[in-house]
Amino acid sequence: MTHDLPEPPETVRIEGPGGRRIAYCSYGDPDAAPAIVLHGTPGSRYEGVALQRAATDAGVRLIFPDRPGYGGTDPVPGRGFHRWNDDFLSLLDHLGQERATLVAISGGGGYALSAAQAHPGRVVKLILAAAAVPGAPKEAYAGRIPIVTWLNRIVRWAPPVGGSMLAGTGVFKRMRSRESNLAAWPRADRLVMSTPEYRALSDLDTTEGRRQGMDAALTDLTGYAHPLPAPLASVSVPTVFLHGDADGNVPVGVARWAHAQIAGAELRIVPEGGHLFLMEDPETLLRELA
């Protein structure tokens, strides 16, 4: 990462189903075919700032929408990852695209999988980068760092406490300091998380992501405890998993398990890569979009 964080591009706001507002940012080459990228949990359209320069150099275009209830996108009532499907169609229509590549980072995984199942004719390719997968078995999470395991349990048992933990408020205020929990993370992520540029990006991204509160993040984390209504085997679009073998947030066992469920899917392991491997090596993703 460079020492100077690029300025976020202008936010575009469109009208979605039922008059809902959908906000997104576009990164990279404005003349290239767009790929739609779903941010992590919690997060926002500003997650793309980290990929802005690399996307421009590679001649690709990345569309980062705020998912429902994050940043500038209105919530969708109810639960379930299918709640984003109509936003996906609205974005494609707005961009003038019949089909597009769909990318998910971390907590965006369930939403991308659901959209690919529901609308395979509108997905060129599905790329899951360090992505969470709904319903992954307990054994797939072997090696997960304890603080993340406890967060996911607390979110289910006591949502208000989980919300404070995620936001770093109340008794969890000290958790907003990277030094207080840095040692728990794999070396690859510690190196990224200790840089000033990452901290600036993280503050920008998560502050915008939780602008409407923590309900969207709590819904995300709760949803990953349960499988999608349709089996993963029903995913019929070309699918690629990109995952670091040192990921302590979403362990690589999750990707291995999900990869085995989808016929023809490819799994690309990033050696010694942590959960934030795209911050160090965006080319891993951009090569798949070339």
Q: Could you give the percent of the chain with pLDDT greater than 70?
A: 88
CA distances from 78 to 8, 69, 81, 83, 245 (A): 31, 11, 10, 8, 34
Token pair in block for residue 80 = 């379930």
Task: Provide the β-strand partners of residue 102.
Answer: 36, 126
| DSSP 8-state class, residue 98 | S
Burial of 170 (0-12, 13-18, 19+ CB in 10 A): exposed
Over 60: is that where the pLDDT of 179 sits? no
Over 80: is that where the pLDDT of 44 sits? yes
Over 60: is that where the pLDDT of 178 sits? no
CA triple 173-177-181, angle to 5 deg:
100
Token pair in block for residue 57 = 């150099």
The predicted-structure confidence for 227-286, as pLDDT tens digits, reads as follows: 999 999 999 999 999 999 999 999 999 999 999 999 999 999 999 999 999 998 999 999
Distance between start and end Cα atoms, the chain: 21
Across 49-71, average pLDDT: 96
The predicted-structure confidence for 116-163, as pLDDT tens digits, reads as follows: 999 999 999 999 999 999 999 999 999 999 877 767 677 666 555 555
Q: Is 238 helix (H, G, I), strand (E, B) or coil?
A: coil
| DSSP 8-state class, residue 7 | P
Over 70: is that where the pLDDT of 165 sits? no
Token pair in block for residue 16 = 């979605």
**Rounded to the nearest 10 degrees, what angle do helices 215-223 and 159-167 cross at?**
110
Across 192-214, average pLDDT: 91
Token pair in block for residue 282 = 């965006």
